[in-house]
Amino acid sequence: MMELRALVPHMTMVVLGVLVIALDLLPIRRRPCCLGALTALGAMAVLYLDWMAPPTVLWNGLAVTDGFAKAFDSVFLVSLAVVSIGAAGWKRHADHEGEAFGVLVFATLGLMLASSAKSLLMLYVGIELTTICLMGLVGFNKSEKRSAEAAVKLFVVGAVASALTLYGAGVIYGVTGSTEYDRIVTALGVGGTGFPWALWLGVACVVAGVGFKVSAAPFHLWAPDVYEGSPTPITAFLSTASKAGGFAALIRFLLVALENSTDRWLPVILLLALASMTVGNLVAIVQTNFKRLLAYSGIAQAGYMLVALAGAASAPDLAISSIVMYAFLYAFTNIGGFMLAQAIGDTVGSDDISALRGLHRRSPILAFATLVVLFSLGGIPPLAGFVGKLYLFAAGWDGGQKWLVGVGAGLSVIALYYYLRVALVAYIMDPITDTPLRIGRPVVVAVAVCVIGTIAIGVYPRPWIEVGERASRAIEDGRRVVRHP
C-alpha cells in the first residue's frame, strides 16, 4: 500500500499526459491556452501529491521517493508548468498542440524516474524516456528546416549518450555483479578498496553519457545548434529541467554508488567543471544569436554546478543543497530568458541580439525583465543568481577546491561582458522602429512568473535552501543505511 501511495504522482502524470493528448481531438484544440493552463495546473497538482506521498523504496530497491527525489521533482514540475504557460501562445497556427503538451508531460515523468533511480537500469529507463520525448518535441515544427536539423542532431547525440550509459552500466554490472547503487558500494568494499580498471571504464562511460544531458564540455557541441533550431518553449525546458535531471542522476550515482571511491571520479568532475566554465564563457562572448548565447551561458552554468559537485567529495551536505537551490533559480532565470527570446522572435521575426535594439522604448516591461534575467545569470546582487553562485562556490571552497573556485569567480567576471552587452543593446541602442511590441498574454504571464521567482529567491532564499538541505539529508540517510544495514 505504501508503494502504491508513493506512485500516485507518477500515475497522475500518466493520466495528465493522456488527457491532454485526448483533448486534442476536441474543438478545444483550437484554444492552446486551455491546454497550456490544464498542463500547468496538472503539474502543480502532481507537485502537491509528490510532497504528500510518503518516502518509499520502490520495486525492491530500484528507486526511492525520498526528499532528494522530491526536491528535483519540484524543479521538473515547476519548469513544466511555466513552460506550458508560455507555450500556450506558441505557434497558434500549428495543429496537434495537445500532442506537444502531452509529450512534454511524459518527458517530465522520465525525469522524475531518473531523479528517484537507485539503479543504473532505472536511471537508463528514465533518461531514455525523456530523450525520446524531447527528440519529437525538438522537431515539432516539421515545416522548419532548422527544427528538423535540430531533431536529427539530438537523435544522434542522444543515441551516443544512451549507448555510453548502457555500456557503462554493463561494465559496472560485470565488475560488481549488480546495477543497484547500494550493492555496488558494498561490492567495492566499505573501506573503498577494490576499484579495478574495468570499473574506471564503466564509470567514465556513465559520466560521459550523463555529461551529454547536462551539456558539460566537451560533451556540449550539440547544445547551441539544437537550442537555436528547437521551438523556443522546448529549448527552455531542455535547458533547465533536462539539465537538472542530469545533475540529479550524477549526484545519486557518484555519492551513493561510488561513496567510498571519490578519489577516482573527482578528477573527471574537475576537468568537466574547468572545461565547461572556460568554453561556455569564452565562446559566448562572440555570439550574435540570443538563443545560442543562452546555450553557451548554460554550458558555463553547468560548470559552476560541477564546481559544487567536485566539493561534494569532501563536503557533500553543502554541495547537494547548493546544487538543488541553484537548479530552482536557474529554472526561473533561464526559462525567463527563453520566454523573452520567444516574445522577441514571434514579434520581430529574429532571434538575433540585434532584435533587442531599443527594447526599453518598444516594451519597457519586457526590457526590465530582460535586465533581471541577464543580471541574475551574471550573478549580480540582490538577484537569485548571486545567491546561487555564492552557495555553489562556497560548496567548492569547503570541499577543498579553492583553485577551481578562483577560476570560476574569474570567469564569472568575464561573463558579465556578454550579459551587459545584451543589456546595452536593449537600453542604449535606438530601435529600428518605435512601434510598441504586442506580446501574447501567455508569454507575459510566463515571463512575470520567472521574474518574480528570480527576485524572490534572491531576496529570501531560505525556503529553497531548506529544500536543498532536505535533499542532502535524504542522500546521507541512504548512505547511512548502506553502512549500517
The answer to whether 360 touches 426, Cβ cutoff 8 Å, is yes
At residue 145, does pLDDT exceed 60? Answer: yes
> Span 58-70, mean pLDDT?
88
Q: How far apart are CA 451 and CA 428, in angstroms?
A: 22
At residue 480, does pLDDT exceed 60? Answer: no
> Span 227-242, mean pLDDT?
92
In angstroms, what CA-CA distances link 50 with 9, 216, 246, 368? 5, 29, 20, 35
User: What's the pLDDT score for residue 108?
Assistant: 96
Q: How far apart are CA 267 and CA 273, in angstroms?
A: 10
pLDDT tens profile 300-335: 999 999 999 999 888 889 999 999 999 999 999 999
* Residues forming beta bridges with residue 180, ordered by sequence position: 119
- Split at pLDDT 50, 70, 90, the class of 175 is confident
Q: 355 φ, ψ to 5°?
A: -70, -15
At residue 482, does pLDDT exceed 60? Answer: no
Q: How far apart are CA 123 and CA 120, in angstroms?
A: 5
The model carries a pTM of 0.93
In the chain, the N- to C-terminal Cα span, in Å, equals: 23
Q: What is the DSSP string of 254-319?
A: IIIITGGGHHHHHHHHHHHHHHHHHHHHHHHTT--BHHHHHHHHHHHHHHHHHHHHHHTTT-HHHH
User: What's the pLDDT score for residue 144?
Assistant: 79
- Split at pLDDT 50, 70, 90, the class of 194 is low
At residue 261, does pLDDT exceed 80? Answer: no
Q: Tell me the three cell numbers of residue 248.
A: 540529479
Percent of the chain with pLDDT over 70: 94
> Span 269-275, mean pLDDT?
95
- Split at pLDDT 50, 70, 90, the class of 72 is very high
- Domain of residue 122: give its range: 2-483
Q: Tell me the three cell numbers of residue 69.
A: 527525489
User: What's the pLDDT score for residue 28?
Assistant: 63
pLDDT tens profile 444-479: 899 999 999 999 999 999 999 999 999 999 888 766
pLDDT tens profile 416-452: 999 999 999 988 887 777 777 778 888 889 999 999 9
Q: 277 φ, ψ to 5°?
A: -65, -40
Structure-model confidence comparison of residues 360 and 477, the more confident one: 360
Q: Which residues contact 11 (CB under 8 A, 6 or more apart)?
A: none
User: What's the pLDDT score for residue 47?
Assistant: 95
Number of domains in the chain: 1
Q: How far apart are CA 203 and CA 233, in angstroms?
A: 33
Flag the least confident range among 137-141, 197-201, 414-418, 476-480. 476-480
Q: In terms of Cα–Cα distance, which of 194, 196, 213, 200 is closest to 272?
A: 213
* Residues forming beta bridges with residue 63, ordered by sequence position: 58, 117
The answer to whether 6 touches 62, Cβ cutoff 8 Å, is no
Mean of per-residue pLDDT scores for the chain: 88
User: What's the pLDDT score for residue 93?
Assistant: 44
In angstroms, what CA-CA distances link 237 with 310, 429, 463? 26, 31, 23
User: What's the pLDDT score for residue 192?
Assistant: 47
The answer to whether 296 touches 206, Cβ cutoff 8 Å, is no
Q: How far apart are CA 82 and CA 77, in angstroms?
A: 9
pLDDT tens profile 339-356: 999 888 877 778 888 888
User: What's the pLDDT score for residue 95?
Assistant: 59
Q: Tell me the three cell numbers of residue 170.
A: 554493463
Exposure letters 190-220 (e unless 16+ CB within 10 A, then b): eeeeebeeebbebbbbbbbbbbbbbbbbebb
Q: In terms of Cα–Cα distance, which of 451, 446, 425, 228 is closest to 345?
A: 228
Q: Tell me the three cell numbers of residue 284.
A: 559566448
